Amino acid sequence: MMQESGPETKCNDSAVQNGGSTGNHLLECSLRESRSNGETPSLEASAAELAHFQQHQALQVARQLLIHQQQVSGGKTQKRNDKQPSLQVPVSVAMMTPQVITPQQMQQILQQQVLTPQQLQVLIQQQQALMLHQQLQEFYKKQQDQLQLQLIQQHAGKQPKEQQQQQQVTTQQLAFQQQLLQMQQLQQQNLMTLQRHGLLSLQPGQPSLPLQSLAQGMIPAELQQLWKEVTGSHTVDDGACNNHSSLDLSTTCVSSSAPHKPSLLLNPHASTNGQASLLTPKRESVSHEEYMHSHSLYGHGVCKWPGCEAVCDDYSSFLKHLNNEHALDDRSTAQCRVQMQVVQQLELQLSKDKERLQAMMSHLHVKSTEPKASPQPLNLVSSATLSKTASESSPQSLPHTPTTPTTPLTPITQGPSVITTTSIHNVGPIRRRYSDKYNVPISSDIAQNQEFYKNAEVRPPFTYASLIRQAILESPEKQLTLNEIYNWFTRMFAYFRRNAATWKNAVRHNLSLHKCFVRVENVKGAVWTVDEIEFQKRRPQKISGEDRYCNPSLIKNIQTSHAYCTPLNAALQASMAENSIPLYTTASMGNPALTSLASAMREELNGVIDHATSNGSDSSPGRSPMQAMHHVHVKEEPMDPDDNEGPLSLVTTANQSPDFDPDRDYEDEPVNEDMD
């Protein structure tokens, strides 16, 4: 990749001639400009000035990084197609500034966007440290020269002013030592800063780092390895000099044969983006096993590269596999980008769900304090109330996005116009129950929440039998053909616009199984009617089984039903499984950050539950708050014919179909399991 010469690349030195990067060049120029301006570190240079200079350099580096990032994102990607060996750094440049990460590499890293800001910060800090070391080296050299000169003068003059000169020398030496001490303090501060960020660790027995160690804090070989790790291209070589396929930072081979082994180690636990370690495992101080255990791409003998899952018996074979299969090429780069997209999606989803949860909690807090006679609060998170309440109670507005469909308005367990905390389970996947006592039968619910069911891929909380019956009863002649029943399902429920084979089979199965459905032959063909007597005769259930829908089977239900059968979904599911997140909505699944909020919400509800149970309900002490709530509300609610129905489970997804066309036949449409 050719570096476009920025306005700051005024110095016409070899760095430019050799394609040296702008940032690197900038550093060089800055140093040289400083020197030419008399700011060269000298005996007179104070530690504060050096620190200031260091900060200035760091700022310039950061600024340069930003400029590069903007340029990269500004559509200059065609430059990447240049024939120049993009990752090759000229030898001269590498030799000139062997310890400083080249801007080309930095730009590559930025373009790949695979480094977290923390890592970038560390890189910048390392740049600072290295620059400081350069300054110190010059400073030290000058000191030596001057001392030597003074010694020569002493020996040459040697006479009457001997004592005076000796005194001067002593004074200067003292000043020099003080300067050195200050320099070392500065360096230690710098190192401590790095340590604070958890990205540097010192070997035991080395409380302080010699300058030489700092100088090698980021040797080219390490940078090369860093690059390889960042790009997924590893080298297993011990010589480390034979592989220049990806990034050649230096012609010097310092990895294993360097006389001064760096005593700096990158903390393997400092990884924030899955990169287990920024440094190569071949460092003798990092054991092979330790690195293997911390490698994010290797676990349980399987390569965890997205879409790979190749079995690697041991770590060396894994490395070999990694080098062979996931070297730096277009495919790996593309996969890396895909992974970045996945992460971005997850982050986006997380932020959305955080907002949603905030709004929900704010809303519930408001609603739960409202008088029970409130005529409105039928909905828990209906769009109108939600947006209003959210805007009032939360600084974050909650736009009505497709991922936040309207929620059923129907009251669940209590009276139709009273919302209580027992109905909070509406938020989750708990089955809602319908009571004729409150004149809210299935038909009423469907009518009230028609838009919700049409747009949100929420599995209706009714059994297939109830839905079929409802479809038939809604028809003018109280009879429907099978196909008309299908159409009613897809028309009324977004949920039934996918997995047609499954639910259609279930519909047919129910029609045949239940005696309440009577097949009637007519001139058109067969139509299905409902035998209400038979329907009412169906055995009522004492408990309609909410709890069963608050269990892992529901997770399976959700996982198989909603639309995120994608890497994102997989990531969500994996995250959910790993974190054992209680299920509230699929959209919020797997967000560890939400667990605390959810937990808080549960705790808040728990108090209400306790109060409710103390009023006669016998909730089991071992139950979770949610279960207890269900239990309470079952106790409070009489049975009704509709209640006999087992739920289909309530599933909310972040995916819905707002563009649903009622006239369109969704039957047997291929289920789009992939999400762009």
Partner DNA sequence: TACGCGATAAACACTA
Partner DNA sequence: GTAGTGTTTATCGCGT
* One residue of 267, 481, 579, 595 binding DNA per CB under 7 A: 481
3-class state of residue 124 by DSSP: helix
**Distance between CA 163 and CA 161 in Å, rounded?**
6
Q: Interface with DNA includes 513 (CB under 7 A)?
A: yes
Judge contact between 365 and 270, C-beta under 8 A: no
Which tokens sit at 180? 């050195």
> Which segment (139-147, 211-219, 305-313, 646-654) binds DNA by CB under 7 A?
646-654
Q: Interface with DNA includes 538 (CB under 7 A)?
A: yes
Judge contact between 645 and 535, C-beta under 8 A: no
* Helices 103-112 + 22-34 axis angle, to 10: 140
Q: Interface with DNA includes 582 (CB under 7 A)?
A: no
3-class state of residue 413 by DSSP: coil
* One residue of 238, 668, 669, 673 binding DNA per CB under 7 A: 668
In the complex, what is the shortest distance from the CB of residue 534 to DNA, in angstroms, rounded to a whole number? 12
Judge contact between 325 and 310, C-beta under 8 A: yes
In the complex, what is the shortest distance from the CB of residue 569 to DNA, in angstroms, rounded to a whole number? 16
* One residue of 227, 434, 503, 535 binding DNA per CB under 7 A: 503
Which residue, 270, 326, 268, is CA-closest to 293?
268
Instruction: State phi, psi for 304 to the nearest 5 degrees.
Output: -95, 15
Q: Interface with DNA includes 601 (CB under 7 A)?
A: no
Q: Interface with DNA includes 623 (CB under 7 A)?
A: no
3-class state of residue 569 by DSSP: helix
Q: Interface with DNA includes 595 (CB under 7 A)?
A: no
Q: Interface with DNA includes 646 (CB under 7 A)?
A: yes
**Distance between CA 24 and CA 130 in Å, rounded?**
12
Judge contact between 472 and 529, C-beta under 8 A: yes
In the complex, what is the shortest distance from the CB of residue 107 to DNA, in angstroms, rounded to a whole number? 49
Q: Interface with DNA includes 522 (CB under 7 A)?
A: no
> Which segment (22-30, 108-116, 263-271, 499-507) binds DNA by CB under 7 A?
499-507
**Distance between CA 606 and CA 77 in Å, rounded?**
55
* One residue of 548, 602, 623, 635 binding DNA per CB under 7 A: 548
* One residue of 5, 512, 522, 672 binding DNA per CB under 7 A: 512
Q: Interface with DNA includes 583 (CB under 7 A)?
A: no
In the complex, what is the shortest distance from the CB of residue 552 to DNA, in angstroms, rounded to a whole number? 5
Q: Interface with DNA includes 280 (CB under 7 A)?
A: no
Judge contact between 658 and 402, C-beta under 8 A: yes
Instruction: State phi, psi for 298 to the nearest 5 degrees.
Output: -135, 125
Q: Interface with DNA includes 557 (CB under 7 A)?
A: yes
Q: Interface with DNA includes 515 (CB under 7 A)?
A: no
Q: Interface with DNA includes 463 (CB under 7 A)?
A: yes
> Which segment (59-67, 71-79, 209-217, 543-551) binds DNA by CB under 7 A?
543-551
CB neighbour list of residue 174: distance below 8 Å, 6 or more residues apart: none
Q: Interface with DNA includes 510 (CB under 7 A)?
A: yes
Q: Interface with DNA includes 539 (CB under 7 A)?
A: yes
**Distance between CA 509 and CA 464 in Å, rounded?**
9
Which residue, 294, 290, 298, 270, is CA-closest to 118?
270
Task: Name the site residues for DNA (rule: CB under 7 A).
Answer: 462-465, 481-483, 486, 499, 501-503, 505-506, 508-513, 519, 525-526, 528, 538-539, 541-543, 545, 547-548, 550-553, 557, 560-561, 634, 644-648, 667-668
